[in-house]
Amino acid sequence: MRTARSSRSGFALLGVVQAVLISTITILTVPLPLVAREFGLGPSGVLLLSASYGLTFSSLLLLGGRLTDRHGGRPVLRWGLALLGAASVLCALAPDYAVLLASRFVQGAGAALTAPAAVAVVRVLHPRPADYRRAMATWGGLSVLGATVGSVVSGAVAAAVSWRWLFAVPVLVALAGLARSGALPTADGPAAPAPPTGPTASTASTASAGRRPALDLRGAVLATAGVCALSYALVGSAERGWSSPEVYGPLLAGTALLVAFAAAERRTADPLLPPGFLADRRRGTALAAVMATAAGTALTFVLLSLYLQQLRGWSAAATSAAFLPYAAVLLLAGRAAGTLTSRYGPVPVTAGGLAVAGAGLGLLAGLAPDSGYATGLLPGLLLLPAGAAAAFAGAAVLATGGVAPERTGLAAGVFNTAMELGPTTGLAALMALAATRPTVVGGYAAAFAAAATGLVLTAVAVATLPRAGGPPAPMTTTAPAAMTGTAPIPSTTAPERTHRIEEFTS
Protein backbone atom coordinates (compact mmCIF):
# COMPACT_ATOMS: atom_id res chain seq x y z
CA MET A 1 0.00 0.00 0.00
CA ARG A 2 1.36 3.42 -0.93
CA THR A 3 2.16 5.78 1.91
CA ALA A 4 1.66 9.53 1.86
CA ARG A 5 5.43 9.94 1.89
CA SER A 6 5.93 7.74 -1.17
CA SER A 7 3.17 9.61 -3.00
CA ARG A 8 4.81 12.95 -2.20
CA SER A 9 8.25 11.76 -3.32
CA GLY A 10 6.82 10.29 -6.51
CA PHE A 11 4.97 13.50 -7.32
CA ALA A 12 8.10 15.55 -6.57
CA LEU A 13 10.09 13.46 -9.06
CA LEU A 14 7.42 13.75 -11.73
CA GLY A 15 7.04 17.48 -11.08
CA VAL A 16 10.76 18.02 -11.66
CA VAL A 17 10.50 15.99 -14.86
CA GLN A 18 7.61 18.16 -16.11
CA ALA A 19 9.44 21.40 -15.25
CA VAL A 20 12.55 20.21 -17.08
CA LEU A 21 10.55 19.17 -20.15
CA ILE A 22 9.21 22.72 -20.44
CA SER A 23 12.51 24.41 -19.51
CA THR A 24 14.26 22.46 -22.28
CA ILE A 25 12.14 24.41 -24.78
CA THR A 26 13.66 27.70 -23.67
CA ILE A 27 17.24 26.82 -22.66
CA LEU A 28 18.62 28.02 -26.00
CA THR A 29 16.52 31.20 -26.21
CA VAL A 30 19.00 33.58 -24.55
CA PRO A 31 22.31 31.93 -25.70
CA LEU A 32 21.06 31.36 -29.26
CA PRO A 33 23.34 34.11 -30.65
CA LEU A 34 26.34 32.27 -29.15
CA VAL A 35 25.28 29.01 -30.83
CA ALA A 36 24.74 30.84 -34.13
CA ARG A 37 28.26 32.31 -34.03
CA GLU A 38 29.86 28.95 -33.18
CA PHE A 39 28.22 27.14 -36.09
CA GLY A 40 28.03 30.09 -38.49
CA LEU A 41 24.24 30.02 -38.74
CA GLY A 42 22.15 32.39 -40.79
CA PRO A 43 18.61 33.52 -39.91
CA SER A 44 16.99 30.38 -41.33
CA GLY A 45 19.27 28.07 -39.36
CA VAL A 46 18.66 29.99 -36.15
CA LEU A 47 14.91 29.90 -36.74
CA LEU A 48 14.80 26.16 -37.32
CA LEU A 49 17.04 25.41 -34.35
CA SER A 50 14.92 27.54 -32.02
CA ALA A 51 11.74 25.76 -33.12
CA SER A 52 13.00 22.17 -33.51
CA TYR A 53 12.30 20.86 -29.99
CA GLY A 54 8.86 22.44 -29.84
CA LEU A 55 7.90 21.15 -33.28
CA THR A 56 8.25 17.47 -32.42
CA PHE A 57 7.06 17.99 -28.84
CA SER A 58 3.76 19.55 -29.88
CA SER A 59 3.29 17.34 -32.95
CA LEU A 60 3.70 14.01 -31.17
CA LEU A 61 1.82 14.73 -27.92
CA LEU A 62 -1.45 13.17 -29.07
CA LEU A 63 0.41 10.02 -30.07
CA GLY A 64 2.21 10.06 -26.72
CA GLY A 65 -1.12 10.33 -24.97
CA ARG A 66 -2.56 7.40 -26.91
CA LEU A 67 0.51 5.24 -26.18
CA THR A 68 0.11 6.11 -22.51
CA ASP A 69 -3.56 5.13 -22.48
CA ARG A 70 -2.67 1.95 -24.37
CA HIS A 71 0.40 0.74 -22.46
CA GLY A 72 0.23 2.55 -19.11
CA GLY A 73 2.06 5.51 -17.64
CA ARG A 74 5.19 3.94 -16.19
CA PRO A 75 6.40 2.05 -19.30
CA VAL A 76 5.88 5.04 -21.61
CA LEU A 77 7.55 7.31 -19.04
CA ARG A 78 10.63 5.10 -19.20
CA TRP A 79 10.67 5.16 -23.01
CA GLY A 80 10.39 8.91 -23.07
CA LEU A 81 13.06 9.53 -20.43
CA ALA A 82 15.50 7.21 -22.18
CA LEU A 83 14.97 9.01 -25.48
CA LEU A 84 15.20 12.44 -23.85
CA GLY A 85 18.42 11.59 -22.00
CA ALA A 86 20.15 10.06 -25.01
CA ALA A 87 19.22 13.00 -27.25
CA SER A 88 20.40 15.49 -24.61
CA VAL A 89 23.83 13.83 -24.52
CA LEU A 90 24.05 14.20 -28.30
CA CYS A 91 23.05 17.87 -28.04
CA ALA A 92 25.84 18.54 -25.55
CA LEU A 93 28.44 16.77 -27.70
CA ALA A 94 27.16 17.92 -31.11
CA PRO A 95 30.15 18.56 -33.41
CA ASP A 96 28.11 20.51 -35.95
CA TYR A 97 24.76 22.11 -36.62
CA ALA A 98 23.20 19.05 -38.29
CA VAL A 99 23.78 16.82 -35.26
CA LEU A 100 22.52 19.49 -32.86
CA LEU A 101 19.38 20.07 -34.92
CA ALA A 102 18.59 16.36 -35.27
CA SER A 103 19.19 15.82 -31.55
CA ARG A 104 16.79 18.64 -30.65
CA PHE A 105 14.11 17.01 -32.80
CA VAL A 106 14.65 13.70 -30.97
CA GLN A 107 14.58 15.51 -27.62
CA GLY A 108 11.12 16.79 -28.47
CA ALA A 109 9.95 13.29 -29.35
CA GLY A 110 11.14 12.03 -25.97
CA ALA A 111 9.32 14.87 -24.24
CA ALA A 112 6.11 14.07 -26.13
CA LEU A 113 6.19 10.55 -24.68
CA THR A 114 7.20 11.64 -21.19
CA ALA A 115 4.72 14.47 -20.54
CA PRO A 116 1.39 12.57 -20.82
CA ALA A 117 2.88 9.48 -19.19
CA ALA A 118 3.91 11.52 -16.16
CA VAL A 119 0.35 12.81 -15.72
CA ALA A 120 -0.99 9.26 -15.95
CA VAL A 121 1.33 8.20 -13.12
CA VAL A 122 0.25 11.26 -11.09
CA ARG A 123 -3.33 10.05 -11.40
CA VAL A 124 -2.35 6.65 -10.00
CA LEU A 125 -0.49 8.39 -7.16
CA HIS A 126 -3.62 10.43 -6.37
CA PRO A 127 -6.64 8.19 -7.07
CA ARG A 128 -9.09 10.39 -5.11
CA PRO A 129 -10.59 13.00 -7.44
CA ALA A 130 -10.05 15.94 -5.09
CA ASP A 131 -6.40 14.94 -4.49
CA TYR A 132 -5.81 14.57 -8.21
CA ARG A 133 -7.26 17.99 -8.96
CA ARG A 134 -5.07 19.59 -6.29
CA ALA A 135 -2.08 17.84 -7.82
CA MET A 136 -2.98 19.14 -11.28
CA ALA A 137 -3.29 22.69 -9.96
CA THR A 138 0.33 22.42 -8.81
CA TRP A 139 1.23 20.79 -12.13
CA GLY A 140 0.08 23.81 -14.10
CA GLY A 141 2.33 26.09 -12.06
CA LEU A 142 5.31 23.78 -12.54
CA SER A 143 4.97 24.08 -16.31
CA VAL A 144 5.29 27.86 -16.44
CA LEU A 145 8.02 27.75 -13.77
CA GLY A 146 10.04 25.40 -15.97
CA ALA A 147 9.86 27.77 -18.93
CA THR A 148 11.02 30.65 -16.75
CA VAL A 149 13.90 28.78 -15.16
CA GLY A 150 15.15 27.71 -18.58
CA SER A 151 15.33 31.29 -19.79
CA VAL A 152 16.78 32.74 -16.57
CA VAL A 153 19.48 30.13 -16.02
CA SER A 154 20.53 29.64 -19.63
CA GLY A 155 22.12 33.03 -20.14
CA ALA A 156 24.19 32.83 -16.96
CA VAL A 157 25.40 29.28 -17.63
CA ALA A 158 26.24 30.02 -21.26
CA ALA A 159 28.21 33.13 -20.27
CA ALA A 160 30.05 31.43 -17.39
CA VAL A 161 30.85 28.07 -18.96
CA SER A 162 29.28 27.03 -22.28
CA TRP A 163 25.82 26.59 -23.73
CA ARG A 164 26.60 22.86 -24.00
CA TRP A 165 26.40 22.47 -20.22
CA LEU A 166 22.74 23.47 -20.37
CA PHE A 167 21.92 19.95 -21.57
CA ALA A 168 23.36 18.42 -18.41
CA VAL A 169 20.10 19.12 -16.60
CA PRO A 170 17.81 17.00 -18.82
CA VAL A 171 20.45 14.25 -18.84
CA LEU A 172 20.61 14.13 -15.03
CA VAL A 173 16.84 14.33 -14.63
CA ALA A 174 16.33 11.55 -17.18
CA LEU A 175 18.83 9.34 -15.34
CA ALA A 176 17.20 10.08 -11.98
CA GLY A 177 13.76 9.36 -13.40
CA LEU A 178 14.87 6.05 -14.89
CA ALA A 179 16.62 5.05 -11.67
CA ARG A 180 13.55 5.77 -9.53
CA SER A 181 10.86 4.71 -12.00
CA GLY A 182 10.69 1.26 -10.41
CA ALA A 183 9.31 2.84 -7.23
CA LEU A 184 6.49 4.54 -9.11
CA PRO A 185 3.08 2.83 -9.18
CA THR A 186 2.16 0.86 -12.21
CA ALA A 187 -0.51 1.96 -14.63
CA ASP A 188 -0.59 -0.89 -17.05
CA GLY A 189 -3.50 0.40 -19.05
CA PRO A 190 -7.08 1.40 -18.45
CA ALA A 191 -9.51 -0.64 -16.52
CA ALA A 192 -11.88 -2.50 -18.75
CA PRO A 193 -15.25 -0.78 -18.83
CA ALA A 194 -18.41 -2.75 -18.40
CA PRO A 195 -19.83 -4.12 -21.64
CA PRO A 196 -22.56 -1.85 -23.01
CA THR A 197 -26.14 -2.93 -22.67
CA GLY A 198 -29.44 -1.78 -24.04
CA PRO A 199 -30.23 -0.33 -27.46
CA THR A 200 -26.78 1.24 -27.93
CA ALA A 201 -24.89 -2.01 -27.44
CA SER A 202 -24.69 -2.79 -31.14
CA THR A 203 -23.02 0.52 -31.91
CA ALA A 204 -20.47 0.45 -29.09
CA SER A 205 -16.86 1.09 -29.90
CA THR A 206 -14.45 -1.80 -29.95
CA ALA A 207 -12.57 0.03 -27.21
CA SER A 208 -15.41 -0.82 -24.83
CA ALA A 209 -14.94 -4.53 -25.34
CA GLY A 210 -12.43 -4.74 -22.48
CA ARG A 211 -9.21 -4.29 -24.45
CA ARG A 212 -6.67 -1.54 -24.77
CA PRO A 213 -7.53 1.33 -27.13
CA ALA A 214 -6.36 0.86 -30.69
CA LEU A 215 -3.33 2.86 -31.80
CA ASP A 216 -5.19 4.75 -34.59
CA LEU A 217 -2.03 4.99 -36.68
CA ARG A 218 -3.77 6.91 -39.46
CA GLY A 219 -4.97 9.58 -37.05
CA ALA A 220 -1.52 9.77 -35.42
CA VAL A 221 0.21 10.33 -38.76
CA LEU A 222 -2.30 12.97 -39.90
CA ALA A 223 -2.23 14.84 -36.57
CA THR A 224 1.57 14.75 -36.27
CA ALA A 225 2.18 15.89 -39.84
CA GLY A 226 -0.53 18.55 -39.67
CA VAL A 227 0.59 20.13 -36.40
CA CYS A 228 4.25 20.00 -37.46
CA ALA A 229 3.62 21.65 -40.83
CA LEU A 230 1.32 24.30 -39.38
CA SER A 231 3.74 25.11 -36.55
CA TYR A 232 6.67 25.37 -38.95
CA ALA A 233 4.74 27.77 -41.17
CA LEU A 234 3.74 29.98 -38.24
CA VAL A 235 7.28 30.08 -36.88
CA GLY A 236 8.69 30.98 -40.28
CA SER A 237 6.13 33.69 -40.97
CA ALA A 238 7.89 36.17 -38.67
CA GLU A 239 11.03 36.09 -40.83
CA ARG A 240 9.80 35.34 -44.35
CA GLY A 241 6.33 36.86 -44.42
CA TRP A 242 3.01 35.26 -45.26
CA SER A 243 3.48 35.58 -49.02
CA SER A 244 6.55 33.33 -49.05
CA PRO A 245 6.05 29.83 -50.53
CA GLU A 246 8.06 28.50 -47.59
CA VAL A 247 5.30 29.79 -45.32
CA TYR A 248 2.01 29.45 -47.18
CA GLY A 249 2.99 26.02 -48.57
CA PRO A 250 3.34 24.36 -45.15
CA LEU A 251 0.44 26.46 -43.87
CA LEU A 252 -1.95 25.11 -46.52
CA ALA A 253 -0.57 21.58 -46.18
CA GLY A 254 -0.89 21.64 -42.40
CA THR A 255 -4.44 22.95 -42.56
CA ALA A 256 -5.44 20.29 -45.08
CA LEU A 257 -3.87 17.53 -42.97
CA LEU A 258 -5.69 18.67 -39.84
CA VAL A 259 -9.00 18.83 -41.72
CA ALA A 260 -8.35 15.29 -42.96
CA PHE A 261 -7.53 14.27 -39.38
CA ALA A 262 -10.83 15.68 -38.08
CA ALA A 263 -12.75 13.88 -40.81
CA ALA A 264 -10.91 10.62 -40.19
CA GLU A 265 -11.58 10.75 -36.44
CA ARG A 266 -15.32 10.92 -37.03
CA ARG A 267 -15.15 7.69 -39.03
CA THR A 268 -12.83 5.81 -36.67
CA ALA A 269 -14.32 3.44 -34.11
CA ASP A 270 -11.60 4.23 -31.55
CA PRO A 271 -10.35 7.72 -32.45
CA LEU A 272 -7.09 9.25 -31.25
CA LEU A 273 -8.98 12.45 -30.36
CA PRO A 274 -12.74 11.87 -29.89
CA PRO A 275 -14.64 14.74 -31.56
CA GLY A 276 -16.63 15.39 -28.40
CA PHE A 277 -13.52 15.77 -26.24
CA LEU A 278 -12.87 19.39 -27.22
CA ALA A 279 -16.56 20.27 -27.55
CA ASP A 280 -16.99 20.62 -23.79
CA ARG A 281 -17.15 24.34 -23.05
CA ARG A 282 -15.15 24.19 -19.83
CA ARG A 283 -12.34 22.18 -21.35
CA GLY A 284 -12.22 24.23 -24.55
CA THR A 285 -12.15 27.53 -22.68
CA ALA A 286 -9.45 26.21 -20.34
CA LEU A 287 -7.28 25.22 -23.29
CA ALA A 288 -7.75 28.71 -24.76
CA ALA A 289 -6.59 30.13 -21.41
CA VAL A 290 -3.50 27.91 -21.50
CA MET A 291 -2.65 29.02 -25.05
CA ALA A 292 -3.18 32.71 -24.29
CA THR A 293 -1.10 32.63 -21.11
CA ALA A 294 1.70 30.61 -22.71
CA ALA A 295 1.77 33.03 -25.64
CA GLY A 296 1.95 36.06 -23.34
CA THR A 297 4.78 34.71 -21.21
CA ALA A 298 6.76 33.56 -24.27
CA LEU A 299 6.30 36.95 -25.90
CA THR A 300 7.67 38.66 -22.81
CA PHE A 301 10.88 36.64 -22.77
CA VAL A 302 11.48 36.97 -26.51
CA LEU A 303 10.76 40.68 -26.84
CA LEU A 304 12.46 41.81 -23.64
CA SER A 305 15.52 39.67 -24.43
CA LEU A 306 15.75 41.38 -27.83
CA TYR A 307 15.05 44.80 -26.33
CA LEU A 308 17.67 44.53 -23.59
CA GLN A 309 20.42 42.90 -25.67
CA GLN A 310 20.00 44.47 -29.09
CA LEU A 311 18.61 47.92 -28.25
CA ARG A 312 20.01 48.56 -24.78
CA GLY A 313 23.31 46.66 -25.12
CA TRP A 314 22.86 44.34 -22.14
CA SER A 315 24.83 41.07 -21.96
CA ALA A 316 23.19 37.63 -21.92
CA ALA A 317 23.99 37.24 -18.21
CA ALA A 318 22.53 40.66 -17.35
CA THR A 319 19.42 39.87 -19.38
CA SER A 320 18.93 36.63 -17.46
CA ALA A 321 19.38 38.52 -14.18
CA ALA A 322 16.63 40.93 -15.21
CA PHE A 323 14.15 38.06 -15.06
CA LEU A 324 15.13 36.91 -11.55
CA PRO A 325 12.29 38.89 -9.86
CA TYR A 326 9.91 37.34 -12.39
CA ALA A 327 11.11 33.86 -11.40
CA ALA A 328 10.86 34.63 -7.67
CA VAL A 329 7.26 35.86 -7.95
CA LEU A 330 6.38 32.88 -10.13
CA LEU A 331 7.74 30.47 -7.54
CA LEU A 332 5.79 32.10 -4.70
CA ALA A 333 2.62 32.47 -6.74
CA GLY A 334 2.82 28.88 -7.91
CA ARG A 335 2.83 27.65 -4.31
CA ALA A 336 -0.21 29.76 -3.50
CA ALA A 337 -2.12 28.94 -6.70
CA GLY A 338 -2.78 25.34 -5.76
CA THR A 339 -4.23 26.35 -2.40
CA LEU A 340 -6.39 29.04 -3.98
CA THR A 341 -7.70 26.60 -6.57
CA SER A 342 -8.61 24.08 -3.88
CA ARG A 343 -10.37 26.72 -1.79
CA TYR A 344 -12.23 28.76 -4.40
CA GLY A 345 -12.36 26.46 -7.43
CA PRO A 346 -10.61 26.61 -10.79
CA VAL A 347 -12.95 29.05 -12.54
CA PRO A 348 -12.38 32.19 -10.41
CA VAL A 349 -8.67 31.43 -10.00
CA THR A 350 -8.16 31.04 -13.76
CA ALA A 351 -10.17 34.16 -14.59
CA GLY A 352 -8.44 36.24 -11.92
CA GLY A 353 -5.03 35.00 -12.99
CA LEU A 354 -5.69 35.89 -16.61
CA ALA A 355 -6.81 39.39 -15.61
CA VAL A 356 -3.71 40.00 -13.47
CA ALA A 357 -1.40 38.65 -16.18
CA GLY A 358 -3.17 40.88 -18.71
CA ALA A 359 -2.54 43.87 -16.45
CA GLY A 360 1.15 43.00 -16.33
CA LEU A 361 1.36 42.85 -20.12
CA GLY A 362 -0.58 46.12 -20.26
CA LEU A 363 2.15 47.79 -18.20
CA LEU A 364 4.79 46.42 -20.57
CA ALA A 365 2.83 47.94 -23.45
CA GLY A 366 4.19 51.28 -22.25
CA LEU A 367 7.66 50.25 -23.40
CA ALA A 368 9.75 53.12 -24.78
CA PRO A 369 13.34 53.39 -26.12
CA ASP A 370 14.52 54.83 -22.81
CA SER A 371 12.35 52.82 -20.39
CA GLY A 372 14.08 52.29 -17.07
CA TYR A 373 14.22 48.79 -15.64
CA ALA A 374 12.85 49.59 -12.18
CA THR A 375 9.99 51.79 -13.35
CA GLY A 376 9.37 50.68 -16.93
CA LEU A 377 9.87 46.90 -16.87
CA LEU A 378 9.83 45.61 -13.31
CA PRO A 379 6.16 46.34 -12.45
CA GLY A 380 4.98 44.30 -15.42
CA LEU A 381 7.53 41.57 -14.66
CA LEU A 382 6.02 41.23 -11.19
CA LEU A 383 2.34 41.22 -12.14
CA LEU A 384 2.63 38.90 -15.15
CA PRO A 385 4.07 35.85 -13.31
CA ALA A 386 1.64 36.24 -10.41
CA GLY A 387 -1.29 36.04 -12.80
CA ALA A 388 0.25 33.39 -15.06
CA ALA A 389 0.83 30.99 -12.16
CA ALA A 390 -2.81 31.23 -11.11
CA ALA A 391 -4.09 30.95 -14.68
CA PHE A 392 -2.07 27.83 -15.41
CA ALA A 393 -3.04 26.20 -12.11
CA GLY A 394 -6.76 26.72 -12.58
CA ALA A 395 -6.71 25.91 -16.30
CA ALA A 396 -4.85 22.65 -15.68
CA VAL A 397 -7.68 21.51 -13.40
CA LEU A 398 -10.37 22.56 -15.87
CA ALA A 399 -8.62 20.98 -18.86
CA THR A 400 -7.81 17.61 -17.26
CA GLY A 401 -10.67 17.21 -14.77
CA GLY A 402 -13.64 14.96 -15.34
CA VAL A 403 -11.69 12.58 -17.59
CA ALA A 404 -12.06 8.83 -17.13
CA PRO A 405 -8.81 6.97 -16.22
CA GLU A 406 -8.52 5.46 -19.70
CA ARG A 407 -8.39 8.98 -21.16
CA THR A 408 -5.79 10.48 -18.80
CA GLY A 409 -3.02 10.32 -21.40
CA LEU A 410 -5.28 12.00 -23.95
CA ALA A 411 -6.16 14.84 -21.57
CA ALA A 412 -2.50 15.38 -20.68
CA GLY A 413 -1.48 15.32 -24.34
CA VAL A 414 -4.11 17.90 -25.28
CA PHE A 415 -3.14 20.14 -22.33
CA ASN A 416 0.55 20.08 -23.25
CA THR A 417 -0.27 20.59 -26.93
CA ALA A 418 -2.12 23.78 -26.03
CA MET A 419 0.89 24.91 -24.00
CA GLU A 420 3.19 24.29 -26.96
CA LEU A 421 0.96 25.77 -29.65
CA GLY A 422 0.26 28.92 -27.63
CA PRO A 423 3.75 30.39 -28.04
CA THR A 424 4.01 29.15 -31.64
CA THR A 425 0.76 30.61 -32.92
CA GLY A 426 0.71 33.57 -30.55
CA LEU A 427 4.26 34.67 -31.30
CA ALA A 428 3.67 34.39 -35.05
CA ALA A 429 0.59 36.63 -34.89
CA LEU A 430 2.05 39.11 -32.40
CA MET A 431 5.41 39.41 -34.16
CA ALA A 432 3.56 40.00 -37.43
CA LEU A 433 1.65 42.80 -35.71
CA ALA A 434 4.89 44.26 -34.34
CA ALA A 435 6.39 44.32 -37.82
CA THR A 436 3.63 46.67 -39.04
CA ARG A 437 4.78 49.50 -36.76
CA PRO A 438 7.30 52.08 -38.00
CA THR A 439 9.70 51.60 -35.06
CA VAL A 440 11.00 48.48 -33.37
CA VAL A 441 10.05 49.57 -29.85
CA GLY A 442 6.66 50.74 -31.06
CA GLY A 443 6.10 47.30 -32.55
CA TYR A 444 7.05 45.63 -29.28
CA ALA A 445 4.64 47.88 -27.37
CA ALA A 446 1.83 47.07 -29.81
CA ALA A 447 2.47 43.34 -29.42
CA PHE A 448 2.33 43.61 -25.63
CA ALA A 449 -0.94 45.58 -25.85
CA ALA A 450 -2.51 42.98 -28.14
CA ALA A 451 -1.41 40.13 -25.87
CA ALA A 452 -2.86 41.95 -22.85
CA THR A 453 -6.18 42.39 -24.66
CA GLY A 454 -6.27 38.70 -25.52
CA LEU A 455 -5.71 37.67 -21.91
CA VAL A 456 -8.42 39.99 -20.61
CA LEU A 457 -10.94 38.73 -23.18
CA THR A 458 -10.09 35.14 -22.28
CA ALA A 459 -10.56 36.03 -18.59
CA VAL A 460 -14.08 37.24 -19.39
CA ALA A 461 -14.82 33.97 -21.23
CA VAL A 462 -13.56 31.90 -18.29
CA ALA A 463 -15.52 33.99 -15.78
CA THR A 464 -18.78 33.09 -17.54
CA LEU A 465 -18.22 29.36 -16.99
CA PRO A 466 -20.50 27.76 -14.39
CA ARG A 467 -18.83 27.33 -11.02
CA ALA A 468 -21.36 24.85 -9.70
CA GLY A 469 -22.24 21.53 -11.21
CA GLY A 470 -18.81 19.94 -11.10
CA PRO A 471 -16.18 19.51 -13.75
CA PRO A 472 -16.63 18.23 -17.28
CA ALA A 473 -18.15 14.82 -17.55
CA PRO A 474 -15.73 11.93 -18.06
CA MET A 475 -15.28 10.73 -21.60
CA THR A 476 -16.35 7.15 -22.13
CA THR A 477 -15.07 4.76 -24.72
CA THR A 478 -18.43 3.84 -26.16
CA ALA A 479 -19.37 5.01 -29.60
CA PRO A 480 -22.25 7.31 -28.62
CA ALA A 481 -20.08 9.39 -26.24
CA ALA A 482 -17.03 9.35 -28.45
CA MET A 483 -18.89 10.36 -31.57
CA THR A 484 -21.54 12.74 -30.32
CA GLY A 485 -19.90 14.46 -27.34
CA THR A 486 -19.72 14.11 -23.61
CA ALA A 487 -22.33 12.98 -21.15
CA PRO A 488 -24.21 15.54 -19.05
CA ILE A 489 -22.17 17.29 -16.38
CA PRO A 490 -22.67 15.49 -13.07
CA SER A 491 -24.00 17.35 -10.09
CA THR A 492 -21.61 18.56 -7.41
CA THR A 493 -20.91 16.35 -4.43
CA ALA A 494 -20.26 19.18 -1.96
CA PRO A 495 -22.05 22.43 -1.21
CA GLU A 496 -20.68 25.38 -3.12
CA ARG A 497 -20.42 27.41 0.09
CA THR A 498 -17.51 25.23 1.24
CA HIS A 499 -15.45 26.75 -1.60
CA ARG A 500 -13.66 23.45 -2.12
CA ILE A 501 -13.17 21.78 -5.47
CA GLU A 502 -16.10 19.54 -6.17
CA GLU A 503 -15.44 15.85 -6.50
CA PHE A 504 -16.30 14.36 -9.86
CA THR A 505 -17.78 11.01 -10.61
CA SER A 506 -16.06 8.69 -13.00
Residues 57, 108 contacting (CB under 8 angstroms): yes
Q: What is the pLDDT of residue 211?
A: 58
Percent of the chain with pLDDT over 90: 32
DSSP 8-state secondary structure symbol assigned to residue 414 = H
- Segment of 67-81, 119-133, 151-165 carrying the highest mean pLDDT: 67-81
DSSP state of 495: -
Predicted confidence band of residue 160 (pLDDT cuts 50, 70, 90): confident
Round the average pLDDT of the chain to a whole number and report it: 80
Has residue 403 got a pLDDT over 80? no
**DSSP code, position 197:** -
Percent over 70 (pLDDT), the chain: 86
E runs forming strands in 236-389: none
Cβ within 8 Å of residue 71, ≥6 positions away: 188, 189, 212
Burial of 374 (0-12, 13-18, 19+ CB in 10 A): exposed
Whether 476 shows a pLDDT value over 50: the answer reads no
Digit-coded pLDDT (tens) for 351-390: 999 999 999 999 999 999 999 999 999 999 999 999 999 9
Check residue 124 and give its pLDDT: 87
How far apart are alpha carbons 261 and 63 in whole angstroms?
Answer: 13
Distance, CA of 211 to CA of 192 (rounded, Å): 7
173-221: pLDDT as tens digits: 999 999 988 888 875 444 333 333 333 333 333 344 445 777 788 888 8
Upper half-sphere CA count for residue 472 (Cβ side, 13 Å): 29
The band of 4, judged by pLDDT with boundaries at 50, 70 and 90, is low
Q: How far apart are CA 446 and CA 381, in angstroms?
A: 17
pLDDT in tens, 109-127: 999 999 999 988 988 888 8
User: Between residues 93 and 244, which one has the greater pLDDT?
Assistant: 93
- The pLDDT of 392-409, averaged and rounded, is 83
Confirm if 20 and 146 have CB atoms less than 8 A apart.
Answer: yes
Residues 216, 218, 220, 223, CA torsion sign: negative
The CATH number given to 4-188+268-498 is: 1.20.1250.20
What is this structure's pTM? 0.76
pLDDT category of residue 501 using cuts at 50, 70 and 90: very low
Whole-angstrom distance, CA of residue 224 vs CA of residue 227: 5
- Contact predicate 122/139, CB 8 Å: yes
Q: Which 3-state string (H, E, C) describes 440-482?
A: HHHHHHHHHHHHHHHHHHHHHHHHCCCCCCCCCCCCCCCHHHH
